[in-house]
Amino acid sequence: MKNISKSLIDRLLDGEKVICEACVKSYYKPLNPDAKVNHYYKCPECGNTIHFDPVVDID
């Protein structure tokens, strides 16, 4: 998987339909669409995935 820009992550988190960079035939869909926030997205057409870990600040 290629390096994911922050803007792509922001677009996904904002609910924007982002076209799959691998097959360019479908859009990334959240693994759990009922969750408030998703960190894993998958293309239903080719199976390409995007996964990112949230930043956690520990005080």
Per-residue pLDDT of the chain (59 residues; tens, 9 = 90+): 555 556 888 899 888 999 999 999 999 999 998 988 899 999 999 999 999 888 788 98
pLDDT at 57: 87
pLDDT at 19: 95
pLDDT at 54: 80
CA gap 26, 15 in Å, rounded = 15
Dig out the tokens for 40 from the structure.
């894993």
**Cβ atoms of residues 59 and 21 within 8 Å:** no
C-alpha distances in angstroms, 30 versus 19, 47, 58? 13, 12, 27
pTM across the whole model: 0.77
pLDDT at 22: 95
Cβ neighbourhood burial of 11 (10 Å; 0-12, 13-18, 19+): middle
